[in-house]
Structure 1
Amino acid sequence: MALLPILRLVCLSALWLAMGCGVTACGAAHQDPSRPSAPDPANQVQVLQQALAVVRPDGAGQGQAPQPAEVALPHDWDRIYPGRNGTATYRLAFPYRGGGQDIPALYLARAANSFEMHLNGKLLAASGAMDAPALYGGQRPLYIPVPEAMLRPENELTITIAARANAKAGLSRVEFGPGQLVHSHYLGALWFRVIGPLVITALSLLLTAISLLIWWRQRDPLFGLYALAEIAWSVSVVERLLDSAPLPLHAWQVLVLASRTLFIVATARFALIIIDVRSPWPAWLVTAFLWIKLPLIVVMTFLFNAPSLKLFDWAINMLLACGIATALAWAALRRPSRERLVLAATVALASALSTADMIRIQFSNDFYWDTSLTKYVSQLFSLSMAWLLVDRYTRTTSTLAELNRNLDRKVAQKEEELHLLYAHSREIEREQATLRERGRIMRDMHDGLGSTLVGALSLLRSGHGSPMVLQQHLQQALDALKLSVDAMQDTGGDLAVVLGNLRYRLRARLEAAKLRVDWQVERLPPVAGLTPQIVRELQYLLLEALSNVMQHAGGATVQVVARSFAGTSVEGEAILIEIRDDGHGFDAASGAPGHGLANMRSRAAAIGGELSIASSERGTTVSLLLYPARWAEGEAA
C-alpha cells in the first residue's frame, strides 16, 4: 500500500514522542524547585531560600517608602499581587569558601519578567527591559557562571525584577555552587521546561502533517480529529518557547486557552468514534463542556492566575474526563476490544496524574505549576491515538488485502466460467453454422441439382425428350454439383479464382453452345470476408446469367469483364462484374418468363450487391456491382 511507509513513520514518531515524555518526566523528578533543599557540605551547592525583599506594586501608596521584608523563595508575584504590575528587589546573602577547581555558577528556575542581577554591587547579568517587561521573559531556567574575582567570603546577591500582571512573574530559589553540579540541575529543568516541550511539539507537528495527509486522501474523521488535537496541543505549549506574545495579550491568552479546550474536545470526539458509543449522553456531555468552557475562557483571560478559576477549570476538565472514562469503561465491559481498553486505560491514567498533580501542588509552593506533569498528559492521548490509528489502519489494510485476494479468486473463477461458457457458445455457433451450411447445401441441391434431375426424369418418362435435351439437363445438374463443391474450397479472398473456377466448369457447355469466351478479368485485390456462402451465391448468380446466354441469347460471343475501382468514402473499393453477349436481346422492361431473373436479383441482394440488366438488339449486359467492405462488416448474408 502507498501509505504503509507513512504509517511506519507514524509509529517511529510515536516512539520518539514516548521517549520525549519519558525524558521530561525524568527531568521533573530530577529537578523540582518546590522541594526544600539545604546546603550540601559534600558538594557545596547552596540553595538560597530566604531573601530580604523590597516590593513596589503599581498603585501602592506613593507617600510611603516600601520597607524591606523577609520573604521565602520562590516568590510568586501573581499570588501576592494578582492583576498588578510592579518591581521587586531581593537581597540574598551567601558565603563562599573557595578552593574548588570548578568555576562557580548560579542557577535560577525563574527571574521574571525582566531582571538585573548584581553581585557585591557589580552587574552580573540582566535580561529584558525593566520599563517594559516581556510577557514570557525570564521564565526559562538560567545558568550564570560567576567569576571568582567578583566573589568574597561573604557575598550579597541583589536581584531586581520588573513584574508584569498575570505573566507568572517572580523569583525562584537560587542555587550557588560548583558549575558542574549546578549545571546538571539547570539541564534537568531546561529539558523539562524548554527542550522537552520543543521536541515534543516538533514531533506533534510531524504527526499532524502525516495525519492531515492521510485525512486528505481518505477523509477519515479519526485522522482529522487526531491532527486537530495535535495542532491544538502544539499551540497551547508554544508559549513556553516564546518571550513575548505574537498577538495582543488578551487575544493570545484566548487562543491558548481555546486551543487547550479544542484539544480536550477533539480527543473526546476521537474516543467516542473509536468506541462507537450508542448512547447520546456522552455527546451531550461534550456539548455542555463547550458551553461552560467558552465563557470561562473569557473570564480566565483577565484573571489568568486566579486559584479559584484554575480549580474550577480543572474540575470541569475532570468532569468531562470522568464522563468519557465511564463511557469507555461501559463500552469495554459490554463489547471488549483492544481499542476500548487502551483508551479507557489512557483516560484513567491521565485522570489519576491530573488529580495527583492538583493535590500535590495545592500543598506545595509551585503556584505556577512548573513541575506539573498534567501538561504532558496530552502526550498519553497523542501516543494512544497514534497507536490506535496505526492499528486500525493496519487491520483495515489486512482486511482489504484479504478481500482483494477473495475478489481475485472469485474473478478468476468467473473468468474460468466465462471461458467455458464462451467455448461452449463457440461450439454451439460452429454446430449452428454446420447446420446452416447443411441446410444451404440441401436447399441448393433441391433447387438446382434436384429440380434439374426431376426435369430430366420427367422427359425420360414421357418419351418425348431427345438425347440432346437429356444431356443438357444432366450437364446442368453436374455443373451445379461441381459449383457447390467449389464454393466450399478456400479461395483466399481472390474473386479471380472464383471466376476462373466457374469458367473451367462451364468450358464444355460453352464450347457445345459454340460460344467464344472473351475473358476480360483484371487483377483484383484480395477481399476480406469472402465466405463460402457468398461464393456460392455469386457462382449461382453468374451460372444463371451464362446459362441464359447459352440457351436464349443466340449470339456468337460472351464477354466476361471484372475490374475494381474506387467507390465512395463510405463504401470503399468496389468490384464490377459484367456478362455481355452479342445476341438478339430481349425486352428487359417487360421481364422474361420463369424465375431466373428474380433469383439473380435475390442472390445479388443476399451478398450486398447491386444487379442491373441492359438489353437491346445488339446484345445483353448483366452488371453486378459488389462492395467487399460490406462483407467484412458482416452485412452480406
Structure 2
Amino acid sequence: MTDGRPVPDRPDRVPRWARWTRWTLLSQPRAWLAAALVLVPMACTNHLADDLVEVTAARRLQVVTADTAQVLLDQANVSLPSRVDSEPGAGLRHISFDIPLDRYMAAPLPVEPGQRRPPGRALLFSQAIEGMDVYLNGVWVAGLPRTNQAARYRWNRPLVVPLARRLLRTDGPNTVVVELSSYEARTLLPPMYVGSVASANLAFEMTAFIGSSMANASNLLCLLAGLFLLGAGWVSRGEGRAFAFAGALTTVWAVMFSLVLTPYMPVAWQPVREWLQYACLGGVAILLTLFVFAFIGERMPTVARRALFAAAMSVPLIYPVANLSMRGWIAQYWLPLLMLFYVYATGRLALHAVRTRRRPAFLLLALNILTQVFALHDHNVVAQLFALPVPGQGWSLAHLLASPVLLSHLTLPLLLLVMGQSLLEQMRSHVERIRQSNEVLSSTLAQRERELQVSYQRQRDMENEAAAQSERDRIYRELHDGIGSKLVTTLFSVREREITPPQLEQRLLDALKDLRETISETQPRETRPIQDILFGYASGMDEALSGDQFHVEIDIADGHEVVLLGDEARSLLRIVEETVANTVKHAGATRLRLSMAVDGRNVLRLCIDDNGRLGPQQPLGPDGVPRGLMAALQPAAHILSGGQGLAGMRRRAQQMGARYRFVRTRHGAHTRVHLPLGPRAPHWPRFTDPEGGADASVAQAPPTETRDDSYRSQSVLAESSTS
C-alpha cells in the first residue's frame, strides 16, 4: 500500500520495453536466425560487382512492322532502361537500337596481381525477354532466338555478350547494335551493364539463378507440396480447410508460373496460353483470399465473397471477345483490382494475429505483405507502369528490383513453411491431447486395477470362507454320521452291558481312527469292494448290538464285486451308519435288517429295515424322527442331537447320483438307496413299498442335478471273480 507518493525506482525494477527487448533477443533464437538470413546476404552482396557500369543511353531507336516494313517509331536518342510504345494491333514488330560503347569503356579495369593483361569486357543484358541478336561493329557476337511469325519466345533470363578485343576499334567508335522482335504494343528495353567478363558472368549467374533456376525449382516444389496439402485437407476435412485451400493455391500457382516461364509457344497457341494465365491468376486470387480466411477460422462475408468471384472470373469470361484496348486495360488494372480483396483479407489476418498472438499468424501476415510487394513488382515488370532506378555504382542484388525479373515465386516456399509450422503446431496439440488422454487412461487403469485388486481380495476371502465352511460342513457330517454313529452304538452296548472291555477299547480306537481320517488333509481312498465294506460294518454291528432284545440280520448278495471310486464308498457307509444310529437312538426296535444287491440294470440296491413302532400320537422332529422316541437313549440323544438327519443322508445320495428314500410305517422304518453303476436307464425303477403300496408317499431325493444322467464316471463294476 502507498499513500500516493511516487515509489522510488528499485534496482530490480526493469522497464517493460527493456524486458520485452531482452526476451526477444535472448529467449528467441528464431529471431536471431531470421535476422541473419535477411541481413547477412544483404551485407555480403551489397556490392557484388563494383566494375559494372550501367548503360544509360541508346541511339537510333526504330520500330518497324514485319509484314509491310512500315516504320512505327523512329527516335534519335533514348534513355535506358526504357519502355517502347507503338501502335496496338500492328502484328510482329522489329525493334533495333545502337549503344555507343566508348564512353563506358574509358575507365580502365582493375588488374589483379599476377595477371598478364587487362581483363576482357562484356555487355550484360539483365533480361532478354523475347530474344535478341547483338552485333559488335557489324559482327554478330551473341543472341537468343527471337520471336517470329511462327513462334513466340519469352526467355526471362539474362544475356552476356563478350566484347572481343579483335572486334574492338582503337581509333574509331565502337557500337553495339541490338535487334529484337515482339508482338506486344509495349516493349521493355531492359537495364544493361558494361564491365569485366567476370563481373558480368557473376551478375548473370545470380540473375539466372533467382529468375529462372529458383523459379523452376519453386514450381516443382509447389506442385508436389500442393498435392500433399490437398491430401492433408481431404483427410482432415473438419480442421483441414486451410490445408485444402493452400494445396489448391500452390497447385494453381505452379501451373500459372509454368505457363509464364515456358520459353517457346507457337503463335497459334498464344491466345490460349494468355487465357489460361488469366484463368489461373483469377483462381490464385480467389484461393489466396479464401485461404487467409480459412487460416484465421473465419468465413468471408457473403457480399465480399460474391464480389471476389465476380471480379476474378469476369476476365476469363470476357477475354476471348475483348478487343485490343480492352485487353490492354486488363493487363494493367485487373491484378491491382484483385489485390484489393487480398489486402482486405490481410487486414483481417492482422487483427487475428494481434488477438491470438500465434506465431504462425504473424509469419503468414509477414508473408502476405511480402507477397503483395512481389506481386506488384511482377505486375510492373509485365505492364511497365513505372521505372525503379537503383542509385549507386556497380551491381548488387538490389538491382534485381529494377530488372524485369519475376520474384513472386519466392513467396510460395515461404507459404509452405508457414503451413508446415501450422501443421506441426496442430500435430503438437494433437500429441498433447493424446498425452493427456493417456495420462487419464493410465490413472483410470490404475484405479481399475486397484478396484480389481480389492475385488479379487474380497473374492478370495469369500472363496476361502466358503472353502472353510465347506470343510467345516464335511467334518461335521463325518463326525455326525460316522464317529457319532459309532459312539451311539457303543453307548447302547455299554448301557445294555453287552460289551467287554477289549471290545470297548477296539470301538474307541476305531472312533479315533475315523477322527484322524476326518481331520486329515489327505483322505484315504477306499479300494475294497463295497460288499466287503458293508459286510465288515454289519458284522461289527451284529457283534456289538445283537443280544436278547436286539437282533441284526445281514443279507449281502453274492455276485460281481463292486468298487466305488472317490468318496462314494465312504458316503454310502455314512448313510448306513447314520440310519443304524437313528434306529438305535429313536426307533426302539428289536430287529434291524441290512441287505444289498446289484440287479440286472447295474443298479446297486441298499435296504435297511427295522421293526420300530410309530404311534399315531407321536409328533415328528425337525429331522424327520418322532420326538417321543428320543427318550430311549436320553444321554446319547442329548449329546448327539442337532444333526441334519434325513437331509444330510439325502444330500449324500444326491452327491453320489443315487436315489434316497425313507419311509415310516406302523411296522417299522424302511430306508432305500438306489445307486446306478453304469449308463443310466431311460427310466429309473420304481421304489417298492415295503407293505406293497404304491410309490406315492415317499420321502425321497430326486436324481442329482450336478451329474450327467447318462453315465457315472465315479462308479465302476469290478469284473472280478464271483465271491
Instruction: Tell me which interval the TM-score lies in, with the shorter structure as reference length.
Output: 0.5 to 0.7
Partner SS, residue 417 of structure 1: helix
Q: CA deviation at 1:410?
A: 2.6
For each residue in 1:340-372, what CA deviation from the matched residue of structure 2 results, as whole angstroms up to 9, or x when unmatched?
444445445555676788899743179998256
Q: Deviations over 1:201-229 (max 9, x none)?
A: 34445644654565566555143333333
Q: Distance in 2 between matches of 1:395 and 1:375?
A: 31
Structure 1 residue 410 corresponds to structure 2 residue 444 = yes
* The one of 457, 463, 471 aligned to 1:423: 457
Unpaired runs of at least 5, structure 2: 1-31, 110-116, 390-400, 541-553, 581-592, 605-674, 716-723
Partner of 1:602: helix, strand, or coil? coil
2:54/2:191 contact within 8 Å kept: no
Partners of 1:298 and 1:319 in 2: CA distance: 20
Structure 1: gaps (5+ residues): 1-14, 32-39, 525-534, 562-576, 581-586, 612-623, 628-637
| Alpha-carbon separation, structure 1, partners of 2:100 and 2:285 | 46
Q: 1:69 is matched with which residue: 64, 75, 100?
A: 75
Is 1:185 the equivalent of 2:213? no
- Alpha-carbon distance in structure 2 between the residues aligned to 1:204 and 1:17: 22
- The answer to whether the 8 A contact 1:74-1:365 is kept is no
Q: Report the equivalent of 1:631.
A: none
Q: 2:688 is matched with which residue?
A: 592
Q: CA RMSD in A?
A: 5.7
Show CA shifts across 1:129-179 (max 9, x none).
65346444333111232332222242332332232348x865424333321
* Equivalent residue, structure 2, for 1:138: 155
Task: Provide the rounded CA distance (Å) in 2 between the counterparts of 1:328 and 1:66.
Answer: 49
Q: Which residue of 2 aligns with 1:52?
A: 60
Name 1:602's counterpart in structure 2. 703
In 2: Cα distance, 1:92 partner to 1:75 partner:
13
- For 1:224, give the aligned amino acid: A
In the aligned structure 2, how far is the partner of 1:198 from the partner of 1:545? 107
- The residue identity in structure 1 corresponding to 2:130 is N
Give the letter for the 1:608 counterpart: D
Look up the match of 1:226. Answer: 246
Name the structure 1 match of 2:387: 364
- Partners of 1:79 and 1:309 lie apart in 2 by 18
Tell me the distance in 2 between the aligned counterparts of 1:400 and 1:300.
53
CA distance in 2, matches of 1:266, 1:320: 11
1:235 paired residue number: 255
1:620-635 mapped onto 2 (5 Å cutoff): 624-625=712-713
The correspondence of residues 438-477 of structure 1 with structure 2, limited to 5 A, is 438=472, 448=481
For 1:25 and 1:283, locate their aligned partners in 2 and report how far apart those are by CA, in whole Å: 44
Cα gap change, 1:255/1:186 in structure 2, threshold over 3 Å: closer, same or farther? same
For the residues of structure 2 that align with 1:351 and 1:93, how far apart are their CA atoms? Answer: 39
SS in 2 for 1:110: coil
Residue 411 of structure 1, CA deviation = 1.9
- Contact conserved, 1:103 with 1:148, CA < 8 A, in 2? yes
Given residue 296 of structure 1, which amino acid in structure 2 is its aligned partner?
V
CA–CA distance in structure 2, aligned partners of residues 417 and 164 of structure 1: 86
CA–CA distance in 2 between the matches of 1:117 and 1:268? Answer: 45
Query: Matches of 2:70 and 2:372 in 1, distance apart?
Result: 49
* Shift in Å, 1:424: 1.9
Aligned to 2:134: 117
The yes-or-no answer on 1:172 pairing with 2:190 is yes
After TM superposition, the score normalised by the length of structure 2 is 0.58
Partner residue of 1:396 out of 430, 437, 449:
430
Work out the CA distance in 2 between the residues paired with 1:74 and 1:305: 27
Change (3 A) 1:281 1:138: closer
**TM-score normalised to structure 1 length:** 0.65
**Offset at 1:293?**
0.1
Which one is further off, 416-425 or 16-25? 16-25
Taking a change above 3 Å as real, the CA distance of residues 19 and 229 of structure 1, as seen in their structure-2 partners, is farther
Task: Kindly name which structure, 1 or 2, has the bigger radius of gyration based on alpha carbons.
Answer: 2
Query: Is the Cα contact below 8 Å between 1:110 and 1:140 reproduced in 2?
Result: yes
Query: Does the CA-based 8 Å contact 1:114-1:162 persist in structure 2?
Result: yes
**1:183: Cα distance to partner?**
2.0
Cα distance 1:372–1:207, how it changes in 2: closer, same or farther (>3 A)? closer
Distance 1:256 1:304 in 2: 19
1:72-107, CA deviations, whole angstroms, 9 ceiling, x for partnerless residues? Answer: 444556776468433223333323679962232221
- Deviation digits for residues 577-622 of structure 1 (CA, Å, limit 9, x no counterpart): 9769xxxxxx984423489x9968634x4333546xxxxxxxxxxx
In 2, distance between residues paired with 1:124 and 1:539? 126
Whole-Å Cα distance in 2 between the matches of residues 405 and 78 of structure 1? Answer: 72
| Alpha-carbon distance between aligned partners in 2 of 1:305 and 1:501, rounded to the nearest angstrom | 123
Q: What is the CA-CA distance between 1:262 and the residue it aligns to?
A: 3.8
Task: Sort the Cα spacing of 1:147 and 1:332 in 2 relative to 1 into closer, same or farther, 3 A.
Answer: closer
Q: What is the identity, as a one-letter code, of the residue corresponding to 2:257?
A: V
Specify the alignment match of 1:147 in structure 2: 164
Residue 248 of structure 1, CA deviation: 4.1
* Separation of aligned partners in 1, 2:405 and 2:44: 9
Q: Distance in 2 between matches of 1:50 and 1:28?
A: 29
Distance of 1:241 and 1:23 partners within structure 2: 30
Q: Is the 8 A contact 2:478 2:518 kept in 1?
A: no
In the alignment, residue 122 of structure 1 is paired with which amino acid? V
What displacement does 1:52 show? 1.8
In structure 2, how many angstroms separate the alpha carbons of the residues matched to 1:202 and 1:18? Answer: 28
**Residue by residue, what CA displacement relative to the aligned partner does 1:300-322 show, whole Å, maximum 9, x if unpaired?**
67779956424533333332223
Q: Secondary structure at the match of 1:184?
A: helix
Specify the SS of the correspondent of 1:107.
Answer: strand
Change (3 A) 1:224 1:418: farther
Residues 93 and 155 in structure 1, CA contact (< 8 A), matched pair in contact too: yes
Spell out the pairing of 1:101-112 with structure 2 (5 A cutoff): 101-112=118-129
Aligned to 1:85: 92
Structure 2 CA distance for aligned equivalents of residues 141 and 173 of structure 1: 10
Query: Counterparts of 1:588 and 1:63 in 2: how far apart (Å)?
Result: 130
Q: 1:260 to 1:68 in 2, by over 3 A?
A: closer
Matches of 1:214 and 1:16, distance apart in 2:
29
Q: Could you say what secondary structure the match of 2:595 adopts?
A: helix
Structure 2 residue 280 is the aligned partner of structure 1 residue 249 = no
Which piece of structure 1 moves more, 155-164 or 204-213? 204-213
* Aligned AA (1:509): Y
Query: Where in structure 2 are the equivalents of 1:495-514 lying within 5 Å?
Result: 497=525, 499=527, 508-509=536-537
Within a 5 Å distance, the mapping from 1:457-606 to structure 2 comes to: 482=514, 489=521, 497=525, 499=527, 508-509=536-537, 539-540=570-571, 551-553=594-596, 589-593=685-689, 602-603=703-704, 605-606=705-706
**Identity value in percent:** 17
The 2-side partners of 1:304 and 1:185 are apart by 37
Shift of residue 421 of structure 1?
1.9
Give CA-to-partner distance per residue, 1:238-270, whole Å, 9 cap, x none: 345421259943444344344444444444334
Structure-1 separation of matches of 2:60 and 2:411: 38
SS at match of 2:336: helix
Distance 2:364 2:576 in 1: 96
**For 2:349, which of 328, 346, 352 is the aligned residue?**
328
Q: Does 1:295 align with 2:314?
A: yes
Aligned length: 540
